[in-house]
């Protein structure tokens, strides 16, 4: 199936993360979740990847479709959910994707602990909501599942990661090649497989072959931003 995500508006820049999710975790019976979908640009990319994998992967798309404070105005709000359904319609009957129209943490409560293979967080970006999202979704992952999210370049996302001890010594993240610095929390045995071979962004930090113990880097960036 050919990709069509580029016809859908949005902020998607984490192709390398979604490519790896399907390649490394995409077995029959796998269960993936995207939290924060907007009109479906990233979800459509994942959906086509799933179809092309030939595997039977369930893909849940969680969003209120109410928008976030940083990316909505009242005109768009009423149309957002219909635009998402329309954007994803090429995938109807092609893969098992579902729209879950709920608040992130409310939706998380519907899943059993240790039941999910991959969760990607791209909903609100303020520290309180990102902290709550990580808290709600992290227990839902299998022991070898992967939690990831977008926009580690945002102050709120960085701070929430640090508050959760993500990116600290012994709990490193793998950076993506995307422009907005996605972060990937991967079980140790799988980390090397998740490194983007050719980072597209020149400022992606690479330490020991690409695995970043991120706390120092994030704190440095916080200091730089605080001085700016």
Ligand X SMILES: C[S@@+](CC[C@H](N)C(=O)[O-])C[C@H]1O[C@@H](n2cnc3c(N)ncnc32)[C@H](O)[C@@H]1O
The CA distance from 9 to 18, in Å, is 18
Please give the span between the terminal C-alpha atoms of the chain, in angstroms, as a whole number: 45
Smallest gap, in angstroms, from Cβ of residue 129 to ligand X?
Answer: 6
Q: Is 81 in the site for ligand X (CB under 6 A)?
A: no
CA distance 192 to 211: 7
Q: Which of the residues 189 through 228 are near ligand X (CB under 6 A)?
A: none
Q: Bridge-partner residues for 35, per DSSP?
A: 62, 121
Which span sits near ligand X by CB under 6 A: 22-30, 64-72, 180-188, 198-206? 64-72
> Using the rule CB under 6 A, is 182 a contact of ligand X?
no
Task: Find the binder of ligand X among 52, 53, 68, 135 (CB under 6 A).
Answer: 68
**Residue 60 interacting with ligand X (CB under 6 A):** no
Whether 35 and 119 have beta carbons less than 8 Å apart is answered as yes
176 binds ligand X (CB under 6 A): no
How many other β-carbons are positioned within 10 Å of the β-carbon of residue 166? 22
Of 10-18, 162-170, 174-182, 204-212, the segment contacting ligand X by CB under 6 A is 10-18
Q: Is 26 in the site for ligand X (CB under 6 A)?
A: no
Question: According to the binding rule CB under 6 A, does residue 38 interact with ligand X?
Answer: yes
Query: Taking a C-beta distance cutoff of 8 angstroms, is the pair 66, 106 a contact?
Result: no
What is the C-alpha separation between 228 and 223, in angstroms, rounded?
9
Q: Tell me whether residue 2 is exposed, middle or buried, using C-beta atoms within 10 angstroms of its C-beta: 0 to 12, 13 to 18, 19 or more.
A: exposed
Closest CB to ligand X among residues 104, 215: 104
Q: Residue 101: helix, strand or coil by DSSP?
A: strand
Taking CB under 6 A as the criterion, which residues in 84-123 touch ligand X? 103-104, 122-123
Q: Within 145-174, which residues bind ligand X (CB under 6 A)?
A: none
Q: Among residues 12 and 59, whose Cβ is nearest to ligand X?
A: 12
Q: Which residues here bind ligand X, judged by CB under 6 A?
A: 10-12, 36-38, 41-42, 62-68, 71, 103-104, 122-124, 129
């Amino acid at each position: 199936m050919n990709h069509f995500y580029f016809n859908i508006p949005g902020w998607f820049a984490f192709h390398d993360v979604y490519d790896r999710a399907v390649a490394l975790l995409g077995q029959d019976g796998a269960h993936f979740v995207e939290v924060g979908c907007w009109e479906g640009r990233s979800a459509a990319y994942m959906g086509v990847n799933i179809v092309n994998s030939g595997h039977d992967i369930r893909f849940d798309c969680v969003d209120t479709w109410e928008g976030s404070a940083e990316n909505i105005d009242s005109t768009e709000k009423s149309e957002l959910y219909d635009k998402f359904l329309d954007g994803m319609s090429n995938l109807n009957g092609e893969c098992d994707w579902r729209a879950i129209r709920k608040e992130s943490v409310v939706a998380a409560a519907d899943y059993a602990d240790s039941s999910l293979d991959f969760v990607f967080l791209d909903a609100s970006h303020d520290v309180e909501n990102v902290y709550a999202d990580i808290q709600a979704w992290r227990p839902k992952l299998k022991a070898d599942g992967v939690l990831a999210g977008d926009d580690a370049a945002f102050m709120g996302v960085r701070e929430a990661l640090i508050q959760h001890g993500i990116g600290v010594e012994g709990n490193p993240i793998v950076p993506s090649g995307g422009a907005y610095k996605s972060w990937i929390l991967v079980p140790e045995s799988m980390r090397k497989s998740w490194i983007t071979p050719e980072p597209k962004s020149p400022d992606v930090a690479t330490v020991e072959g690409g695995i970043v113990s991120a706390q120092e880097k994030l704190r440095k960036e916080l200091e730089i931003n605080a001085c700016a």
